[in-house]
Amino acid sequence: MTFDYDLFVIGGGSGGVRAARVAAAGGAKVALAEESRLGGTCVIRGCVPKKLMVFASGYRETLGEAKDYGWDVDTSCDFDWSSFSKRLHGELDRLEGVYQKLLDNSGVKTYACRAVIEDPHTVKLTSNGTKITAKHILIATGGRPMKPSENFDESLGMVSDDIFKLDKLPKSMLIVGGGYIACEFACIMKGLGVETTIFYRGAQVLRGFDDEARGLVADQMRAGGIDIHSGANVLEMKAKDGGVWVKGSHGSEAVYDKVLFATGRLPNTDGLGLENTDVKLGRKGEILVDEYSQTGQPSIYAIGDVTDRVNLTPVAIREGMAFVETVFNGNPTPVDHELIPSAVFTQPEMGTVGWTEEEAASKGPVDIYSTSFKPMQQAFIGRDARVLMKLVVCKKTDVVLGCHIVAPAAGEMIQLAGIAVKMGATKTQFDQVCAVHPTMAEEMVTMKEPIRTIS
């Protein structure tokens, strides 16, 4: 059978674009459809704009520190959201243009519309009804933020996508949720001058991360003025006085200018036409795939957040690369989801790779090396900020099973520490590395005795 394309990609995020480009560079005839904007969640409404907001929000504290260090600065100045927002959206437009140019230069045909699967080898463009055939179809449609299904008007609350579209900053904000998105935006909003409150139904924010590390992050968030209510959820919401009146399950009642729901994400599989294939879905609507990202329909593959495996942009890109190796280069390549470094861009940041103390302890005896201290930069000016450096080490083999850092620039540090952990480095090998002094990270190679052993 003759096909219009060797590969048709549905979704123009980082994973889909990378797979399309690499396949086309290898000689395949490739097309891609994106109904929104090229760049997907990461570039347009996630990692990139959020990180730029992190940068912006950090200057308030930086100005105060500069004054304590002897600089004659005005610390009473206000943040101009409109000026920042204009520059932010200009940068997103630029990046979208870069993605388009990369696809064009690779010879990938792009369609700025939604594509729906008609059968295992056919997609239909919803813009004009055109049907296109392809030998292989790759689904890379990502995910979307969800709102809780409760007995109140959910339209009164925003999701993370809406943050970047604000005309002006609110004076107060309630964030419902306690995951990394909730905590990151809480720190951003507080840093920009917004009175920020968190309702989280669990006992401690950042569930799933190392307990000691997330405990320090929560402490530092509270010290920075973020009002965290654990064991709390929204019971009632209604419009009032130009804002949103919220009653919490713990008895609080208050009016907030804005409410942000950061209560999880769902895979974008609705309306894709998957019922016309043998593609199977999981409990959350995620596409089920094997280790090669192949679905139950042999001609259809899926990568990225739509599979709900490890929902990180670099992982989606690696999955796309492995897909091309497997399908177009004749080199079956399973996706490696082990020991992936990641960072939470709170203030301070948290970087992590490998097992948490709790995970490691459930599998066998471990030694815990951990230190928390005031870094030189803040200690000098009498600030109470603390950082954490932690290694989780297998007692039997001396292999470093996990590394957790809470500190400014922890994301930068964990990228490098992740190399050693991925290589299977031992604690002895860490100790053999000479310290870089004076730095915070030198503690990673100077902790000589475990603070506790868990059998």
CA gap 213, 389 in Å, rounded: 9
pLDDT at site 34: 98
- For the stretch 55-69, pLDDT in tens is 999 999 999 999 999
Domain end (from 329, 362, 379): 329
User: Other C-beta atoms within 10 Å of 381: how many?
Assistant: 13
pLDDT digits (tens, 9 = 90+) for 395-448: 999 999 999 999 999 999 999 999 999 999 999 999 999 999 999 999 999 999
- For residues 147 and 332, which has the higher predicted lDDT (pLDDT)? 332
Average pLDDT over residues 283-309: 98
Q: In this structure, are residues 400 and 360 in contact, taking their beta carbons and an 8 Å threshold? A: no
In a domain, 293, yes or no: yes
Q: Is residue 336 part of a domain?
A: no
Average pLDDT for the chain:
97
Question: Was 177 annotated as part of a binding site?
Answer: yes
Give the position of tokens 């690499």: 22
Active site residue 404: no
Mean pLDDT of 240-254: 95
Residues 288 and 248 in one domain: no
Q: Does 152 score more than 90 pLDDT?
A: no
Do 249 and 323 lie in one domain? The reply is no
Buried b (16+ CB within 10 A) or exposed e, 312-348: bbebbbbbbbbbbbbbbeeeebebeeebbbbbbbbbb
- Backbone φ, ψ for residue 5 (5° rounding): -140, 155
pLDDT at 328: 98
The percent of residues above 70 in pLDDT, for the chain, comes to 100
Average pLDDT over residues 107-119: 98
What confidence category does residue 12 fall into, taking pLDDT thresholds of 50, 70 and 90? Answer: very high
Domain final residue pick, 216, 243, 262: 262
Grouping H, G, I as helix, E, B as strand and the rest as coil, residue 167 is coil
What is the model's pLDDT at position 61?
93
The verdict on residue 334 lying in a domain is no
- Candidates 89, 250, 404, 437; catalytic one: 437
Report whether 300 belongs to an annotated binding site. no
Determine how many CB atoms are found less than 10 A away from the CB of residue 432.
10
- The verdict on 125 and 250 lying in the same domain is no
| Partners of residue 172 on adjacent β-strands | 195
Cα separation of 346 and 365, whole Å?
31
User: 180 among the known binding-site residues?
Assistant: yes
Answer for the pair 254, 99: CB distance below 8 angstroms, yes or no: no
pLDDT digits 0-9 by tens, 190-239: 999 999 999 999 999 999 999 999 999 999 999 999 999 999 999 999 99
Compute the distance between CA of residue 176 and CA of residue 452 in angstroms, rounded to an integer.
35
CA distance 414 to 410: 6
184 is in an annotated binding site: yes
Global pTM value? 0.96
Are 217 and 296 within one domain? no
How much is the pLDDT for 1? Answer: 79
- Count the neighbouring beta carbons within 10 Å of the beta carbon of residue 397: 12
User: What is the C-alpha separation between 420 and 172, in angstroms, rounded?
Assistant: 43
Q: Tell me the pLDDT band of 254, cut-offs 50, 70 and 90.
A: very high
| Residue 337 within any structural domain of the chain | no
> Are 139 and 163 in the same domain?
no
How close are the terminal C-alpha atoms of the chain, in Å?
A: 61
How are strands ordered across the β-sheet holding 227-230? 227-230, 195-200, 172-176, 258-261
Q: State the CATH number of the domain containing residue 218.
A: 3.50.50.60
Does residue 402 lie in a domain region? yes
Same domain, 253 and 372: no
For the segment 9-32, the average pLDDT, to the nearest whole number, is 98
Report the residue count for the chain.
455
pLDDT at 153 exceeding the cut of 90: no
Regarding beta strands 258-261 and 172-176, do their DSSP bridges make them parallel or antiparallel, or are they unpaired? parallel
**Claim to verify: residue 140 and residue 168 sit in the same structural domain:** no
5 annotated ligand-binding residue:
no
Q: Are 61 and 33 contained in the same domain?
A: yes
> How many structural domains comprise the chain?
3
Tell me the C-alpha distance between 11 and 307, whole Å: 13
| Number of Cα atoms under 13 Å in the Cβ half of residue 449 | 1
Output the pLDDT for position 393.
Answer: 98
Q: What is the pLDDT of residue 109?
A: 98
Same-domain status, 9 and 127? yes
Average pLDDT over residues 322-348: 97
Q: Are residues 111 and 255 in the same domain?
A: no
What 8-state DSSP symbol labels residue 286?
P
Tokens 């929000």 belong to: 57
Q: Are residues 303 and 371 in the same domain?
A: no
Is residue 102 in a domain?
A: yes
What is the CATH classification number for the domain harbouring 411?
A: 3.30.390.30
What's the pLDDT at 320? 98
What pLDDT does residue 401 have?
98
In which domain, by residue range, is 11 found? 5-145+266-329
Q: Where among 231, 262, 293 does a domain terminate?
A: 262
The answer to the question of residue 225 being in a domain is: yes
Indicate if the pLDDT at residue 151 is higher than 80: no
Annotated binding residue at 181? yes
The angle formed by the CA atoms of residues 445, 446 and 447, to the nearest 5 degrees, is: 105
Q: Is residue 168 marked as binding?
A: no
Nearest Cα to 387, choosing from 368, 412, 401, 404? 404
> What letter would DSSP give residue 426?
B
Across 257-386, the runs of DSSP E, i.e. the strands, are: 258-261, 265-267, 300-302, 342-344, 349-354, 366-373
Do 288 and 350 lie in a common domain? no
